[in-house]
Amino acid sequence: MTYDTIAIGDLVNKDTDGDGILDWEEPLWGLDPTKKETTPGVPDSSVIKKLKAEQGFAINNTENGQDYTENLTETEKFSREFFSTAAALSQSGVTDQEIMNQIGIDLADKMKDSSPEKVFTSFDIKITYDNSTTAVKKYSEALGSIDKKYPVEGNVMLILQKFILDGNNVDSDVLREFEPMIKQAENRMNDIIKTTVPSDLAQVHLNMINAIERLVEDLSALRLFDTDPIVAMSAISKYQNNATSFESAFIALVNEVNKKLNN
């Protein structure tokens, strides 16, 4: 993203004096971004470390020879990135409300389009190179048994409607209703993964497994609304597309199985 000829990423990451403290942060602590030692003989990094400790900030450092890094939620990451961008632009005198609104949208879109946590591959499933009608029929019967074992229960959209009370209020307790649905989907997925699949059906088989995984991730993220609202809202925005993808994957698998059985 740029503003006129200024690359915002370059501006946010600018460190004029090369002391490891970004230019936008130094003035917040009363330091000069052009000097490694605003107070001669006292490194700016030491000043900031002391001030953060006094004010109760968590500090990234090295403990017992190992690097320690804060475990941030997506909401905390979003807040920090948004704040650092706003501070850098404000100090450079190139910000306005329209730009900040766009930055907020861009950061939210980046999180919404984040990569899935887990992607299953052919190494995760049991493949047989027996593509006979008998093998396909056995596979189809195994999936049928899994469907009966884990019938679809609950309605995600109805739960979300109960969750969103109005434009300004939500009832996060309602999200507990996702727990049995998540458990059921995980069990279904695990049983499908253990099912031996003819190699000709391996790709559509994998597509359905990964489609279920996306839904499990969405529902799991939705439960985090109280502690990580950014990731929860991102899951809400992705759920419908992922549900449609699951339906498409399921139909494609059924069609391929039927084609094999009818040949």
CA distances from 83 to 54, 149, 154, 158 (A): 21, 49, 40, 36
Q: Examine the domain organization and report whether 183 and 105 are in the same domain.
A: no
Q: Examine the domain organization and report whether 98 and 137 are in the same domain.
A: no
Domain boundary (63, 84, 112) is at 112
Q: Examine the domain organization and report whether 127 and 240 are in the same domain.
A: yes
Domain boundary (94, 112, 130) is at 112
Answer yes or no: is 117 within a domain. Answer: no
Residue type, 195: T
- How much of the chain is helix, strand and coil, in % rounded to 5? 60, 10, 30
Q: Examine the domain organization and report whether 91 and 31 are in the same domain.
A: yes
Domain boundary (57, 81, 112) is at 112
Q: How many whole angstroms separate alpha carbon 123 and alpha carbon 181?
A: 27
Answer yes or no: is 236 within a domain. Answer: yes
Question: Domains in the chain: how many in total?
Answer: 2
Q: Examine the domain organization and report whether 149 and 251 are in the same domain.
A: yes
Answer yes or no: is 23 within a domain. Answer: yes
Q: How many whole angstroms separate alpha carbon 230 and alpha carbon 192?
A: 31
Q: Examine the domain organization and report whether 85 and 166 are in the same domain.
A: no
Q: Tell me the pLDDT of the chain (263 aa) as tens digits.
A: 444 445 656 666 778 888 888 777 777 778 888 888 888 888 888 888 887 777 666 555 444 444 444 566 666 666 666 666 666 666 666 555 666 666 666 665 655 555 667 899 999 999 999 999 999 999 999 999 999 999 887 888 888 888 887 767 888 899 899 999 999 999 999 999 999 999 999 999 999 999 999 999 999 988 888 887 777 877 888 888 899 999 999 999 999 999 999 97
Q: Examine the domain organization and report whether 108 and 236 are in the same domain.
A: no
Q: Examine the domain organization and report whether 82 and 211 are in the same domain.
A: no
Answer yes or no: is 107 within a domain. Answer: yes
Q: Examine the domain organization and report whether 105 and 165 are in the same domain.
A: no
Report the pLDDT value the prediction gives residue 140, as an integer from 0 to 100.
Answer: 95
Report the pLDDT value the prediction gives residue 63, as an integer from 0 to 100.
Answer: 42
Q: Examine the domain organization and report whether 150 and 50 are in the same domain.
A: no
Of 11, 15, 47, 20, the residue nearest 31 (C-alpha)? 47
Q: How many whole angstroms separate alpha carbon 80 and alpha carbon 56?
A: 17
* φ, ψ dihedrals at 92, nearest 5°: -90, -5
pTM: predicted TM-score of the whole model, two decimal places: 0.63
Q: Examine the domain organization and report whether 74 and 158 are in the same domain.
A: no
The answer to whether 146 and 195 are in contact (CB under 8 A) is yes
Report the pLDDT value the prediction gives residue 67, as an integer from 0 to 100.
Answer: 42
User: Domain span at residue 55?
Assistant: 2-112
Report the pLDDT value the prediction gives residue 224, as an integer from 0 to 100.
Answer: 84
Q: Examine the domain organization and report whether 86 and 177 are in the same domain.
A: no
For residue 253, count other CB atoms closer than 10 A to its CB: 23
218: CATH: 1.20.120
